[in-house]
Each structure stands twice: as structure tokens, then as C-alpha cells.
């Protein structure tokens, strides 16, 4: 089936309302092709007795019931629209290795060729790659006519390889579906293992990530299948570690009741796969825990030395590191394989912090008596990077949001702090697993997620690690979303003005702003409500085509206000101080900033100054300003109608562009001067 169907379903899940035209823009396909895709999706829905996607042929609008949306969500999760008939060479290698490690039947060359759907000649090439993988684990592949292909070597290494190959296959969206298609797993056993893992979470008060809860049943099931099929005596490196008497082991051991072939050593090995799962914050006690604390202290001291700074909330960071390091140290000691699909991306995006963590980690490696793999160091670096991003929480926020991430604590924390830094006017209530976010859904305005969700809330799909390009695109998408929603637009503008409004007028002004945005567009603000808008003239308009800093831009715009004795010098200093900290919330339109302070900071009279920057000016928040409007408010509410008027203009792309392209003050005034009820400009 066409993989493009996935793109259509993803679009429909992310957007609560949609049309053929919006899908066309999103997935870059022709309208008639999109209609064919929708027909194909509906065919799948009808086959399962589900409601269809409804298409209005007159206007192209699409309607989806909540029941249909849920069905689409499940289809996407189960990889229904991915073609599993063709298997790539890389995936074939994983499948062949897993089959040979879990099935003691005598597989011939033809048997394996049929299993992966290729010719015998193609399979002979694949077997060369299989031998290379086995060699890296000190294992050998042997063939005989009577026994077919068989793997020989250390049982410990064979189990280690099985876990690695299973996790690699599950990295693919279709991994679980492929296991089931090839009849390599028993769905009933997977279900029971998953339920037992959930029970274990509750008993031990730990949290598996969504990925772990989905992948661990496959890994455990395949290991149990190997143990049952081959039943070989083996030795391991587990004897040196006092795990048998821990409450974690006693609880985990209960997961494997009913499997008579498992020895105590086997149960211990399986339990370690859970206890050492990537980012499981286990309560597992390590012998020498005081030494571990000293090792973490040494690591943090090294970090602070390289960073030339004092890490904030260091006690909390130390606690988080110790929780992560307990299972990580067992992974290091036993060389258990773990996956970090974001390793390369993180190292590319944050090479400095990765290098510093790598150089600082040696006290912890000395405690573990083993060096850490690159994947482990990256997870620790993610925790550190998230801490560096951390900023003090603001008391007041305009919007509320949550993060949904399947990748575990380190990645979730890094993603959460990155978003907090990007959107300081948002209150992020936390990062949640996909299975847990629903209970908090009603508390937020927005959701930022790494996976598609079945939710009525506006959701932004984001990469776990946000590159510079990702951040720019996300900010633009969010800005577009807010500008289309009258209530959110009003909420945001009120937040920007709140500090200049007397507390007793909060509700009245917020209602007024909301009514303004909900009402049909008016040609004049003051003629409808009898309010006075600031009278702009040519002396309030400035142009600059030179390259300058944001400080120079503000000073340039404020000089005429100083000459008009509208403000004192203390007001200028306060505006510069506030704008450096809060420029991201002082925007009244795309590329238009509103530097300002409070009436009590040195305002003599209400005034405005509009600076049009022909050479874009870089702002403290990383944005680029093409215009700056300096405001000096005489009180907490008189300037509000003027700001509403300007806000409406700057959110109109055509009007804003006309101001930016203006050759003189007259051109600008023709756009910003209000119009009377008779249609005559106040400027006229």
C-alpha cells in the first residue's frame, strides 16, 4: 500500500479541521491524487466496519468523526499503510539473525530465502553480512546438510546479539508489524508480558517510557523463546553483583511465572533487561552508593570547571544523575546493549557539550570500573544540556502547554527546557508519556509532541532535538496558529499590556480586547466606541538603512521622544534593560517589536515613535526586526486603543509590507492613520 497514505492520515490527525487544499500544501501532491488516497483510506476503514472520511465536493472541506479519528490513529500506530512485501537487505539481516537465534529447526538456504522473500543467490550475499555480524560477537555460522544453518559460540554473546538485533528491528515503525507478519512472536504472550510490566511499574514506583513498554515485551518474549528452544547450560558475568536479594528482583521474577524452563540464572538475566532499560529511573540499590555520590560530585566539579559556571539547582541535578546512573552502571559493567536513536543528531547539534561531558565523565567510569559507551555519554549529555537550558519560572504566563515524548527522561527533559527557552510566555506543566498525557489534556492550550496524538488540542509535531531550522519553523507555525485564533490573539496581547494596566481594570480590558478581535474588522477604532487614538504625524516616523545593534535602534527611536520631553533619560535606561530580558514577549506583529516600560519609570506624556529598519536588526531573542514601535504610556490604559489599532495593522501582511516599503513619512501615515466612519482618513 502507498506509504503516502501515512502522510495523509498524519495530516488529518494533527489538524482538527482540514481540506483538500490544506493537504495539498502539506504533502505536495495534486488534488486528484489526494482524493484517490482518501478513497484508499476509506476502503481500509470500510473493511473494518469503521466510519469513513467525509469529503465535501463543493468546497473540498473534510469532516471526520471522533470514532473515525480514533480508527485512523490506531491504523497509523500499527503501520497499516506500510508495504511489508519488500524487505531491504539491512532488515533481512536482522530477521535472519533473530530467526537463527530463536528457532532450533534445521533451516536450509531455501528455507531462509523463502522466509525473507528473496532468491537463493540473493540470500547467499546476505549470509556474508550475517557472518560479519556474528564475527563481531565472537560467534560462528556453520552449515551442514543434516542440521542446516546454526550459530555456535558463547550463549551469553548469543543472547546479547539477540537483544541488539531485536531492538534494531524495533527502531523501524514497522518493526512490530513485521515480527507479527513473520509469525516470530505470540501476540497473547506479548500482551501478558506488557500487563506484567505495567504491574511491576506500580509495585516498584518506576516509570518505563512508551518505547520501553512497547519494545520490552518483544525482547523478553524472544529471549524466553530462545531459552525454551535451545535449553543450553551457560555461564554469565552476573555472579559478581548482589541482585538476588533486592526487592526489584523479587518483583520482576514474578513476571516470569508459568515458564517452567527458566532457571534462576535465566530469570536474573531477564530481570536485568528490565532493570537496565534505557532511562528506567530504577530504585535499584548499588553497593557502594556513597562512592557513587562522590563520583557524581567529581563529575559535576569537572563540568563546572570546563563550563566556567555554577550549575543551578545542583542538588536536584545530582539526584537525577544518580537515578539515571544506577541502571547505566549495570549496563556498562555487563556491556548490555542499549539504544539511543538520537546519538548522531545530538552530537552534531551540541558538539561542545558532548565533548565536555566526555572529558568530565571519568570519575563515574572509575566507579563503574568500565568505560561508558557513546550512547550512554550522549544520554548524560542530554541531561546536562537540559540543565543549562533551564531558566527560572515566570510568575505569569499567557498560554499553558505540555510535552509528549516517547524517548525517556533525558530526551524529554532536554526537549522541555528547549521549548521553555523558545517560549518564555508559556507555562509548560511537564513532559509526559503518550499513555499518560490524557489526564492533563484539559489543562493546556497547546501540546508539543514527538508522535501523532488523538487529541482535540492543537498539537505541534516536533523533533526530540530541535535544530536552528526546526526552531524557526516551529515559531512561525505557532505564530500563524495564534494569529488565526481571536481568543488566543486577545489573550496574548493582554499579557503584553498587563503590567501597564491597573489591576482593577484587568477583566474589563481583557474582555474589551477579546471583543475587539472577535468583532468584524472596523475601519476606525475610535469612531465605533468613541475612543481617542494617538494622533501620528511625520515627526513620529523614522527611517534607517544602516546596520546597527538593537540598542542603537532603540536609542535612535527614543531620541525624538527625549527631544519632545515625553520621557526622561531614566525611561530610556529602563526600556533597554527590560527589552534585553523580555524582547520575545514585546512583539505586536511579525518582525515588529514594541520596546516599552511602565508609566512610573520616567514617562512625562504619552508618545510613540516608529522606526522602520531597512536593514534588519537582530533582536535579543534571536529574531529580526524590520520595525520598532517605542511606547511611553502616560497611564495603564489610555494607550490600549492605539495599540489595538497598530496591532491590527501589523498583523495584516499587506499593510505591514506597505509600511516597510514606504519611501517617506506620508506613505506610512496613509496606512497607520485611522479612518472616520465616513471613510476619511484622520491624516487628510
Phi, psi (deg, nearest 5) at residue 555: -65, -40
What percentage of the chain has pLDDT greater than the value 90?
27
Task: Examine domains 3-77 and 89-182 and report if their fold is the same.
Answer: yes
Q: Does 98 or 289 have the greater pLDDT score?
A: 98
Task: Round to whole Å and give the CA distance between 280 and 278.
Answer: 6
What is the secondary structure of 39-83 as a DSSP string?
HHHHHHHHHTT-PPPEE-TTT-EEE--HHHHHHHHHHHHTTTTS-
Burial 565-579 (b: 16+ CB within 10 A, else e): ebbeeebbebbbebb
| Residue among 534, 633, 628, 550 nearest 588 (CA) | 628
- For 523, the 3-state DSSP assignment is coil
Kindly report the CATH class assigned to 399-484: alpha beta
19-62 pLDDT per residue, tens: 888 888 888 888 888 888 889 888 888 888 888 888 888 888 88
Given pLDDT bands bounded at 50, 70 and 90, which one contains residue 393? very low
Per-chain mean pLDDT for the chain: 82
User: At 508, is the pLDDT very low, low, confident or very high (cuts 50, 70, 90)?
Assistant: confident
CATH class of 3-77: mainly alpha
Is a pLDDT exceeding 60 seen at residue 679?
A: no
Q: Which CATH number fits domain 538-672: 2.40.50.140, 3.40.930.10, 3.40.50.2300, 3.40.630.30?
A: 3.40.930.10
What is the b/e burial string over 526-555, where b = at least 16 CB atoms within 10 angstroms of the residue's CB?
Answer: bbeeebebbebeeebbbebeeeeebeebbb
Burial of 306 (0-12, 13-18, 19+ CB in 10 A): middle
Least-confidence region, from 101-115, 130-144, 299-313, 462-476:
299-313
Q: What is the rounded radius of gyration, in angstroms, for the C-alpha atoms of the chain?
A: 31
CA-to-CA distance for 358 and 374, rounded, in angstroms? 9
| pLDDT tens sequence across 67-78 | 888 888 888 777
Return the CATH number of the domain spanning residue range 289-388: 1.10.1790
> What's the pLDDT score for residue 256?
81
Question: Which whole number is the average pLDDT over 128-148?
Answer: 92
Per the model's pLDDT, the better-predicted residue between 288 and 303 turns out to be 303
Average pLDDT over residues 243-271: 74
With pLDDT > 70 as the criterion, what percentage of the chain qualifies? 85
For residue 280, pLDDT beyond 50? no
Instruction: State yes or no: pLDDT of 353 exceeds 50.
Output: yes
**Could you give the CA distance from residue 200 to residue 66 in angstroms, rounded to a whole number?**
33
Give pLDDT tens digits for 519-536: 544 333 343 344 568 888
pLDDT at 660 (0 to 100): 93
What band does 282 get if pLDDT is binned at 50, 70 and 90? very low
Q: Rounded to an integer, what distance in angstroms lies between the CA atom of residue 655 and that of residue 660? A: 9
Handedness of CA 392, 398, 399, 400 (dihedral sign): positive
pTM: 0.57
Domains in the chain: boundaries = 3-77, 89-182, 187-277, 289-388, 399-484, 538-672
Dist. CA 80–CA 499, nearest whole Å: 52
Q: Are strands 399-404 and 446-449 parallel, antiparallel or unpaired?
A: parallel
CATH architecture of 89-182: Orthogonal Bundle (1.10)
- DSSP assignment of 578-612: HHHHHGGG-EEETTEE--B--GGGTBSS-EEEEEE
Is residue 73 within 8 Å of residue 13, measured between CB atoms? yes
Residue 231 neighbours by CB under 8 Å, 6+ apart: 261
First vs last C-alpha separation in the chain: 65
Between 1 and 292, where is the model more confident?
292
State residue 396's pLDDT score. 66
Please report the pLDDT score of residue 206 as a whole number.
Answer: 72
For 588-622, how does the pLDDT look when each residue is reduced to its tens digit (9 = 90+)?
A: 888 999 899 888 899 999 999 999 999 999 999 88
The label of the residue with cell 492543537 reads 458
Residue 676: the pLDDT is 40
Binning pLDDT at 50, 70 and 90, where does residue 447 land? very high
Average pLDDT of the residues in 250-270:
78
Confidence grade of residue 559 (pLDDT, cut at 50, 70, 90): very high
Mean pLDDT of 226-236: 83
CA neighbours within 13 Å on the CB side: how many for 381? Answer: 28
pLDDT at 551 over 90: yes
pLDDT tens, residue by residue, 155-203: 989 998 999 999 999 888 788 888 988 999 998 999 999 998 888 888 7
What pLDDT, on the 0 to 100 scale, is given for residue 135? 95
Q: Which residue has the cell 548499588?
A: 286
What residue ranges in 433-511 does DSSP mark as E strands?
446-449, 458-461
With 90 as the cut, is the pLDDT of residue 394 above it? Answer: no
DSSP-derived pairing of the beta strands 458-461 and 446-449:
parallel
Amino acid at each position: 500500500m502507498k506509504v503516502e497514505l501515512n502522510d495523509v492520515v498524519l495530516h488529518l490527525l494533527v489538524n482538527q479541521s482540514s481540506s483538500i487544499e490544506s493537504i495539498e500544501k502539506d504533502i505536495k501532491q495534486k488534488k486528484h491524487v489526494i482524493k484517490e488516497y482518501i478513497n484508499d483510506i476509506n476502503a481500509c476503514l470500510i473493511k473494518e466496519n469503521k466510519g469513513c472520511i467525509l469529503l465535501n465536493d463543493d468546497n473540498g472541506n473534510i469532516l471526520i468523526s471522533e470514532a473515525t479519528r480514533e480508527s485512523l490513529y490506531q491504523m497509523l500506530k500499527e503501520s497499516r499503510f506500510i508495504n511489508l512485501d519488500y524487505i531491504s537487505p539491512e532488515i533481512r539481516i536482522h530477521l535472519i539473525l533473530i530467526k537463527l537465534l530463536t528457532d532450533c529447526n534445521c533451516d536450509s538456504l531455501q528455507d531462509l530465502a523463502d522466509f525473507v522473500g528473496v532468491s537463493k543467490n540473493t540470500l547467499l550475499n546476505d549470509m556474508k553480512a550475517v557472518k560479519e555480524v556474528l564475527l563481531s560477537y565472537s560467534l560462528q555460522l556453520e552449515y551442514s546438510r543434516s542440521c542446516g544453518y546454526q550459530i555456535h559460540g558463547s550463549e551469553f554473546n548469543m543472547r546479547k546479539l539477540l537483544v541488539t538485533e531485536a531492538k534494531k528491528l524495533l527502531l523501524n515503525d514497522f518493526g512490530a508489524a513485521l515480527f507479527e507478519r513473520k509469525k516470530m512472536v505470540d501476540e497473547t504472550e506479548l500482551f501478558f508480558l506488557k500487563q506484567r510490566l505495567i504491574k511491576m511499574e506500580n509495585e516498584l514506583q518506576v516509570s518505563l517510557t512508551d518505547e520501553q513498554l512497547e519494545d520490552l515485551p518483544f525482547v523478553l518474549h524472544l529471549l524466553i523463546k530462545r531459552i525454551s528452544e535451545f535449553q543450553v547450560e551457560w555461564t554469565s558475568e552476573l555472579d559478581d553483583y548482589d541482585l538476588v536479594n533486592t526487592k526489584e528482583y523479587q518483583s520482576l521474577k514474578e513476571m516470569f511465572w508459568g515458564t517452567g524452563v527458566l532457571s534462576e540464572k535465566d530469570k536474573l538475566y531477564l530481570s536485568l533487561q528490565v532493570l537496565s532499560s534505557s532511562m528506567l529511573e530504577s530504585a535499584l540499590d548499588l553497593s557502594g552508593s556513597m562512592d557513587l555520590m562522590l563520583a557524581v560530585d567529581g563529575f559535576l566539579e569537572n563540568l563546572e570547571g570546563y563550563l566556567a559556571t555554577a550549575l543551578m539547582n545542583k542538588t536536584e541535578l545530582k539526584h537525577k544523575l544518580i537515578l539515571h546512573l544506577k541502571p547505566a552502571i549495570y549496563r556498562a559493567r555487563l556491556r548490555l546493549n542499549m539504544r539511543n536513536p538520537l546519538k548522531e543528531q545530538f552530537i552534531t547539534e551540541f558538539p561542545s557539550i558532548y565533548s565536555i561531558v566526555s572529558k568530565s565523565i571519568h570519575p563515574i567510569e572509575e566507579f563503574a570500573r568500565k568505560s561508558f559507551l557513546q550512547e550512554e555519554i550522549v544520554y548524560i549529555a542530554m541531561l546536562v544540556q537540559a540543565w543549562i537550558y533551564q531558566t527560572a519560572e515566570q510568575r505569569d504566563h499567557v498560554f499553558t502547554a505540555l510535552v509528549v515524548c516517547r524517548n525517556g527522561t533525558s530526551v524529554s527533559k532536554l526537549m522541555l527546557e528547549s521549548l521553555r527557552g523558545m517560549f518564555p510566555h508559556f507555562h509548560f506543566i511537564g513532559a509526559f508519556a503518550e499513555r499518560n498525557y490524557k489526564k492533563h489534556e484539559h489543562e493546556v492550550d497547546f501540546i508539543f509532541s514527538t508522535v501523532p496524538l488523538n487529541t482535540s488540542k492543537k498539537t505541534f509535531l516536533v523533533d526530540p532535538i530541535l535544530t536552528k531550522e526546526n526552531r524557526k519553523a516551529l515559531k512561525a507555525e505557532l505564530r500563524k496558529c495564534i494569529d488565526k485564533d481571536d481568543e488566543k490573539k486577545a489573550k496574548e496581547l493582554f499579557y503584553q499590556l498587563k503590567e501597564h494596566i491597573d489591576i482593577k481594570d484587568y477583566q474589563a480590558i481583557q474582555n474589551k480586547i477579546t471583543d475587539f478581535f472577535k468583532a468584524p474588522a472596523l475601519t476606525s477604532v475610535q469612531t465605533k466606541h468613541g475612543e481617542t487614538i494617538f494622533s501620528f504625524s511625520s515627526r513620529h516616523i523614522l527611517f534607517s538603512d544602516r546596520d546597527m545593534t538593537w540598542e542603537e535602534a532603540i536609542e535612535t527611536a527614543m531620541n525624538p521622544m527625549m527631544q519632545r520631553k515625553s520621557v526622561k533619560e531614566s525611561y530610556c535606561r529602563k526600556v533597554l534593560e527590560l527589552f534585553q530580558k523580555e524582547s520575545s514577549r514585546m512583539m505586536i506583529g511579525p518582525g515588529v517589536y514594541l520596546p516599552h516600560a511602565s508609566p512610573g519609570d520616567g514617562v512625562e506624556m504619552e508618545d510613540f515613535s516608529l522606526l522602520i529598519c531597512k536593514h534588519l536588526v537582530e533582536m535579543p531573542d534571536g529574531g529580526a526586526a524590520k520595525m520598532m514601535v517605542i511606547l511611553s504610556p502616560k497611564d495603564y490604559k489610555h494607550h490600549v486603543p492605539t495599540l489595538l489599532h497598530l496591532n491590527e495593522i501589523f498583523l495584516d501582511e499587506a499593510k505591514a509590507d506597505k509600511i516597510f516599503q514606504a519611501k517617506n513619512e506620508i506613505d506610512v501615515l496613509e496606512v497607520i492613520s485611522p479612518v472616520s466612519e465616513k471613510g476619511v482618513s484622520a491624516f487628510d
